[in-house]
Amino acid sequence: MHQNALLVNYDYCTGCKSCEIACRNELGLSADQWGIKVTEVGPFQIDNEKWEWDYVAVPTQLCTLCENRVAEGAKPACALHCLASVIEYGPAEDLVKRAKDRGLKKSAIYLI
Name the maximum alpha-carbon separation found in the chain.
51
- pLDDT value at residue 17: 96
The CATH code of the domain at 4-111 is: 3.30.70.20
Tell me if 16 sits within 8 A of 68, measured CB to CB.
Answer: no
- Cα angle: 93, vertex 62, 82; to 5 degrees: 60
Tell me if 6 sits within 8 A of 112, measured CB to CB.
Answer: yes
Give this prediction's pTM.
0.88
From first to last of the 112 residues of the chain, give the pLDDT tens digit: 679 999 999 989 999 999 999 999 999 999 999 999 999 999 999 888 899 899 999 999 999 999 999 999 999 999 999 999 999 999 999 999 999 999 988 899 998 7
- pLDDT value at residue 1: 62
